[in-house]
Chain A
Amino acid sequence: MPRYESDVCIIGGGISAAMLAQKLSELRPGIAITVVEAGRSLFDLEKRMDYRRRSLDYGENPWPGDFIEDQSAKGIISRTMAVGGSALHWGGTCNRFSEEDLRLKSMFGLATDWPIEWKQLEKYYCEAERRLGVSGEPSPLPEDRASQPYPMAAMTLTHNLIELKKWAEKSGIPFWSTPQAKNTVAYDGRAKCIRCNTCAICPTGARYSPDFTFKRLLAQKKITLHDQTLIRKLVLHDTKSIVVAARGVNRARQDEPVEYRAPMFVVASGYAWTPHLLLLSRNSRFPDGLANKSGLVGKYMCGHSFRSAFIEIDAKIYPGMNEQHGLISRQYFRSKPDQPFVRHDLRIWESAAGHEPRVRSLDGKILLGDELLADWRNRAQRGTARVRGYVDTHPDRESSLTLDETARNRWGDPLPKIEHRLDPATLARQDRVREHMQGIFESLAKANNGKILSTSLGNYLDHPAGGCRMGDEPSSSVCDSYGQTHDHENLFVVGSPTLPTAGCTNGTLTFVALTLRSADRIARVRGARS
């Protein structure tokens, strides 16, 4: 069996792994870093314009081969498994959480506090924004003050967003440009955005994706990357509680068994595959899985619910100007302690909903040619806004990822099953939250002769996280605030799994910020040992 040795073995090849590998290579030049990723490397920027075209014309996968057919999970929301992970096709939204997210228990008596101070996290937000290349405008709210400006000016608000902002702000709610990891000028060797309107497959590299970081690290010979290699088990020392090896299979070599040895292991495999690997690594001394003396590996799986509306308004909107960019309000990130708890962000995008071409009129008459066009034009005279609020919801302990013994991959490993459950306090305020959100949608609609076309509640928790939550107490958490597991001093988990709660806006920037903080600790520990 091939055996590879390094100073740090990173398992997983998504955005957290990329940021960790990059920063470790800077902090500890010459350190041997191996990144092991189950999926393939899709380093084919030159083909992405063609992939984009096929996606637009045929609905084909713009990231061909970015999955492992039988490596699936019940309850997961993305199948992407490739070097770069879900951040290959993310929208690039880079919203910060707020201090309230870290102090839910002490401020509101809800869920739990994070074991980290806001000022500490804020410093790493700035670093994350610099490394990812975030364009944005500062929030005018003093509570959201950033200690460093965004590295790039905000994306130009299109005519559509200018119109939508004028409309929405009539309701008294301020909106501004959503920060994004998209270049408004050439940045860090990547091109300026040319508004292709297909950010899920950015054909130019203007939207950050981790493949760029990996390619650069490989070119500089700062890391070794083993893709198509699925780690199936972490192996403990015979007597000590330290991890000595990671064992898996090389899919590119007919599932050849392979072993990685290192004094330090970091699992950076996201909210699903990180707890899954720890549970799979159970042994006689840790029968419930590694890092799981607390019993909390795969518990407190979190995310946020979301409520959406399509609102028709009196505004001239031209669908297709830049559908991927939107407005955000942080007005409701705060919940007054003397008021019922409701926290959420509020987002607005251009939309063509309700104004698509149709082949039958409402009375069922078939429309063809000029009739169809006339019907379409008539309905498209008014604009549509897509409005959404990501609502702060908190997980129950039994919001879980478990091993599904009835579903196994080709190597015989049970696959994960994720079942989100909300805690009793969250469930108790559901009606109030619904009324609150409905009130906001109605206020927005009223502001300009608007009409709510539809409202909906998301049927899953978005921007999922958790499963290895951080905390100060080993009895109530899996790892500390740096991701160092309480049970194994040389085993870290980084990024999304460490979040105790998932906030009320997109999580990726927070996953990266926490990972960058972990990198500092890992570099220190590595330095002290060497």
Chain B
Amino acid sequence: MANRFEAWVRQYRPGAEMDHGYGVTRLRVKASSPAPAYLAQLELLHQPLADLDPSARRRAVEAALERANVRDLPRFPDGRHIISDLLSFYFHSSDANDLCYRAAIRRDSCRELEGSDNPPPPLNGAA
């Protein structure tokens, strides 16, 4: 997942047109890349996350989210903090949706109509 997020950051296009679909008339473009902010945030997390104590690492993560005033997960990573953006990247994915429902819904894939009247098959190895 970290690799996929890294690829997402690398392929981010600052200034790209954003969707202005039906009911949204304001033209907007994507903000500048979050990468520089991520690097600074990672630098600050480097030392605390090196701690071997899991509860200390957790406290560091929580403190970082509190400092960034993260209240919810953005629909798309928005640069507020790399931790919440990574959470958003994963938990808004089709894979996470499948994991939540323990079913191979494959929300973001193109799939045949046939069989869609049945529940999606169970997710192999679902926790």
Q: Which residues of A contact B (CB under 8 A)?
A: 54-62, 64-65, 67, 69, 72, 76-80, 86, 89-90, 155-159, 162, 184, 192-197, 200, 203-204, 316, 318-322, 356-360, 366, 368, 372-373, 376-377, 380, 460
- B66 nearest CB neighbor, chain A only: A366
Nearest-CB residue, chain B, relative to A64: B17
**Residue from A61, A69, A203 having most chain B Cβ neighbours under 10 A:** A61
Docked pose: A57 CA to B5 CA in angstroms: 11
B2 at the A interface (CB under 8 A): no
Are A58's CB and B113's CB within 8 A?
no
Question: Does B49 count as interface, using CB distance less than 8 angstroms?
Answer: no
Cross-interface CB contact of A380 among B13, B101, B117, cutoff 8 Å = B101
**Given A319-B107, A357-B100, A359-B84, does the pair A78, B116 have CB atoms closer than 8 Å?**
no
CB < 8 Å neighbour of A320 from B18, B19, B70, B105:
B105
* A67–B26 alpha-carbon span in the complex (Å): 11
Query: A197 to B108, Cβ gap below 8 A?
Result: yes
Partner of B110, one of A158, A204, A373: A204
Q: Is the CB–CB distance between B76 and A58 below 8 Å?
A: yes
12 new A-B contacts, CB < 8 A, other than A59-B18, A318-B105, A368-B61, are: A57-B8, A59-B19, A60-B30, A78-B23, A156-B114, A159-B118, A194-B110, A318-B101, A318-B103, A357-B100, A358-B72, A368-B87
A58 touches B120 (CB 8 A): no
Can you list 22 A-B pairs with a CB-CB distance of less than 8 A?
A: A55-B19, A58-B76, A59-B76, A60-B17, A65-B17, A67-B27, A79-B20, A86-B22, A157-B117, A193-B113, A194-B111, A195-B112, A200-B21, A318-B105, A321-B105, A359-B70, A359-B72, A359-B73, A368-B62, A368-B87, A376-B91, A376-B100
Q: Which of A58, A157, A358 contacts B30 (CB 8 A)?
A: A58
Alpha-carbon separation in the docked complex, A313 to B20 (Å): 32
Q: Which are the 8 A-B pairs with shortest beta-carbon distances? A: A320-B107, A61-B17, A357-B91, A196-B110, A194-B110, A158-B116, A320-B105, A195-B111
Query: Nearest A residue to B115 by beta-carbon distance?
Result: A156
Q: Which residues of the partner chain A approach B27 to less than 8 Å between Cβ atoms?
A: 67, 69, 79
Task: Please name all residues of chain B whose beta carbon is closer than 8 Å to the beta carbon of A57 when the two chains form the complex.
Answer: 8, 76
Q: CA A64 – CA B27 in complex, angstroms?
A: 12
Q: Inside 8 A of A358's CB, which chain B residues have their CB?
A: 72-73
For residues 85 through 110 of chain B, which have their beta carbon under 8 Å from a beta carbon of chain A? 87, 91-92, 94, 96-97, 99-101, 103, 105-110
Please determine whether A60 and B116 come into contact, CB atoms closer than 8 angstroms: no
Q: Which residues of B contact A316 (CB under 8 A)?
A: 119
Q: Give Cα distance in the complex from A372 to B83, angstroms.
A: 13
CB distance from A307 to the nearest CB of B (A): 16
- In whole Å, how far is A173's beta carbon from the nearest beta carbon of chain B? 21
Q: What residues of B have a CB within 8 angstroms of the CB of A380 in the complex?
A: 100-101
Q: Chain B: residues with CB nearer than 8 A to chain A?
A: 8, 12-13, 16-25, 27, 30, 58, 61-62, 65-66, 70-73, 75-76, 84, 87, 91-92, 94, 96-97, 99-101, 103, 105-114, 116-120
**Secondary structure of the B side of the interface?**
loop
Q: Nearest A residue to B112 by beta-carbon distance?
A: A194
Residue of A67, A158, A192, A204 near B117 (CB, 8 A) is: A158
Contact of B87 with A359 in the complex, beta carbons under 8 Å: yes
Query: Does A195 lie within 8 Å of B97, measured CB to CB?
Result: no
Taken together as a complex, chains A and B put the C-alpha atoms of A356 and B75 apart, in Å, by: 10
**A358 to B88 Cα, complex, angstroms:** 9
Bound together, the chains give a CA A346 to CA B73 distance in angstroms of 32
Docked CA distance A69–B27 (Å) = 8
Contact of A155 among B70, B96, B112, B113 (CB under 8 A): B113
Q: How far is the CB of B101 from chain A (nearest CB, A)?
A: 5
| Chain B residue at smallest Cβ distance from A369 | B87
B120 touches A360 (CB 8 A): no
Beta-carbon contact of A195 and B116 below 8 Å: yes
Shortest Cβ gap from B32 to chain A (Å): 14
In the bound complex, what is the Cα–Cα distance between A55 and B21 (angstroms)? 11
Q: A61-B17, A194-B112 given as contacts; is B99 within 8 A of A373 (CB)?
A: yes
Taking CB atoms, residues of chain B closer than 8 Å to A55 are 19
A77, A356, A377: the one contacting B22 at CB < 8 Å is A77
Q: Chain B contacts of A360 at CB under 8 A? A: 71-72
Closest to A72 in B: B25
Partner of A359 from the list B24, B65, B75, B97 (CB cut-off 8 Å) is B65
Given A318-B105, A372-B87, decide whether A58 and B12 contact each other with a Cβ distance below 8 A: yes
Closest-by-CB residue of B relative to A322 is B116
Other-chain residue from A61, A162, A200, A321 in contact with B18 (beta carbon distance below 8 A): A61
Separation of A158 and B112 alpha carbons in the complex (Å): 11
Q: Is the CB of B116 within 8 A of A366?
A: no
Q: For residue A198, which residue of chain B has the nearest CB?
A: B108
Least CB distance from A77 to B in Å reads 5
- Minimum C-beta distance from B109 to chain A (A): 8
Residues of A within 8 Å of B92, CB to CB, are: 357
Residue contact B117 to A203, C-beta cutoff 8 Å: no
Please, which residues of chain B bring their CB within 8 A of the CB of A78?
Answer: 21-23, 25
A86 to B22, CA, bound (A): 8
| Distance to closest chain B CB from A170 (angstroms) | 20
* List of B residues within 8 angstroms of A77 by Cβ: 22-23, 25
Task: Give chain B nearest CB distance to A171 CB in angstroms.
Answer: 22
Report the Cα distance A110→B95, complex, angstroms.
52
CB distance from A239 to the nearest CB of B (A): 42
CA distance A497 to B47 in the complex (A): 64
Q: CB-CB < 8 A to A72: which residues of B?
A: 25
Known contacts: A78-B22, A79-B20. The answer to whether A320 contacts B94 by CB under 8 A is yes
